Amino acid sequence: MELQAFHDDFFIGGQWVKAHSKDFTDIVNPATEQIWGRVPSANQEDIDAAVAAAGEAFRSGVWSGIGAAARAQIMLRFADELQARGEAMGRTITSENGTPISESGAAAAHSAGILRYYAGLADYVDQDDKRPFPGSPGKYTQVYRQPRGVCLLIAPWNFPLTLVMVKLAPALIAGCTVVIKPASETPVDLRVLIEAAVAAGVPAGVINLLTGGRESGGLMVQHPGIAKVAFTGSTGAGRTIAAQCAQLLRPVTLELGGKSASIILPDASVEDFAKVVNRTCLRNTGQTCYNSTRVLAPRSIYKEVVETVAATVGSTPIGDPFDPATVFGPSASATQQARVLDYIRIGIAEGARVATGGLGMPEGLSRGFYVKPTVFADVDNSMRVAQEEIFGPVLVVIPYTDEDDAVRIANDSQYGLGGSIFSSDPDRAEQVARRIDTGSVGINFYGSNLAAPFGGWKDSGLGMEYGPEAIGAYVRMKSIHREG
């Protein structure tokens, strides 16, 4: 049954509060092109109320003052409550952005795992960190990790729950309170998260939820009551936020765009690569920041790689995102569909050869924001389709001469987020991976490890998420020097 989600409120100070704003944003199902919901766009009065509620909760000590171990116990209940709502969460995400249910159906469980991981780092936050003065017997420094305060978490539309949780969980265990602003395309799924938080006993004011577009987000970033900003989204938007935070001397974490490379070494199995190409290079209909959307193949097997990748991508199921067999759903919006189609036209105009896909609706589909999954061959790395982030189901296959040439091409990008190396010799592949200018690289697959830092180099961002390292973004270090 089609969801209906027409709302006029925000979650502020532990309750749903009617919006002061009279501006609203429609929610469109990208598979049906039907409006199924509406949410308010926060104005200054709404933002002031949410930041004030978060600030009051922080200063009261109801969260920051109970210690990380007590916060962890509530976070574990939060995880259980969130996981129990997995079906509702998956259906909502798929209705919002068209993510295939096979992906979105696991979002709640995955995010619950993030909460549990950070709950397990309570001792790290509250550790007894006593450091002696070198050369000064009897003197020492007690080092404390103290929460920063009210944090603004801004999430994108492609993984609307997970990319909130990788910010929310470390902020919570650190003792911060938060204001969350989801993307305007995906504002409803976090109401399920709020329901789980309330059921778990997260104190009022610790988590606040506002909806709205760029204007609302800009007001939030610059609000004087915000102590730290965490943003995931485009590099262009990230630059704007970075500039605003720089003027305010406000800490900011930015997880931005990517144009990662997947290098197939000459000894790799092309068939094995084909088995993971959709997950590694086109996950979530190509709408994943770390996707390896540039495939680099040695000239000796270039034709085989192009033919195998094109056959795999071209035969992958596309259609109704609520069908468990679907791998490629629609683009998340009409705007995104138009962007991807424009890039396909650009690739053709640049002289790239369409090995599969191209313009027009996929066969059997007459509505929805769909794009044919497309593989471009005979691509030079200087082409726009090889340099610019498309964020859709489009791959380019680029030939290289030798290992040095492959590394040069991979690094010839403004981005530095992910990447992958395929080889029958993992040790050799790791040596190549160490030469790639990106924050993370996978060997014969790509996957983010929650226990290891994730972040971009170059224009792909600032700071790290995941791992214990992420907690550092939400705490301030204090050194107290003592004798005795």
Q: Which two tokens stand for residue 98?
A: 């068209």
Q: Which two tokens stand for residue 420?
A: 């992958």
The whole-angstrom separation of Cα 87 and Cα 322 is 12
The residues, ordered by sequence, that sit 6+ positions from 1 with a Cβ below 8 Å of its Cβ are: none
Starting at the edge strand found earlier in the chain, the sheet holding 5-6 runs 5-6, 34-40, 24-29
Contacts 24+ apart (CB under 8 A), 105-110: 107/159, 107/161, 107/162, 108/82, 108/83, 108/161, 108/192, 109/83, 110/162
Q: Find tokens 């998420």 and name the residue.
A: 465
CB environment 375-414: b (16+ within 10 A), e (fewer): bbbbbebebebbeebbbbbbbbbbbbeebeebbebbeebe
Q: Find tokens 């987000």 and name the residue.
A: 217
SS3 373: strand
Instruction: Estimate to the nearest angstrom the gap between the alpha carbon of 377 and the chain centroid.
Output: 29
Residue 471: C-alpha distances to residues 145, 168, 440 (Å): 10, 10, 19
Catalytic choice (81, 176, 289, 465): 289
Instruction: Estimate to the nearest angstrom the gap between the alpha carbon of 194 and the chain centroid.
Output: 19
CB environment 97-130: b (16+ within 10 A), e (fewer): bbbbbbbbbebbebbbbbbbbbbebbeebbeeee
The whole-angstrom separation of Cα 271 and Cα 405 is 23
* 446 CB-side CA count, 13 A: 30
The whole-angstrom separation of Cα 167 and Cα 114 is 10
The one-letter code for the residue type at 175 is G
The whole-angstrom separation of Cα 222 and Cα 215 is 11
| Residue 176 annotated to the active site | no
* 319: exposed, middle or buried (Cβ count in 10 Å: 0-12, 13-18, 19+): buried
| Residue 289 annotated to the active site | yes
The whole-angstrom separation of Cα 438 and Cα 82 is 33
Catalytic choice (103, 255, 389, 465): 255
The whole-angstrom separation of Cα 327 and Cα 283 is 9
The residues, ordered by sequence, that sit 6+ positions from 382 with a Cβ below 8 Å of its Cβ are: none
Residues marked active site are found at 255, 289
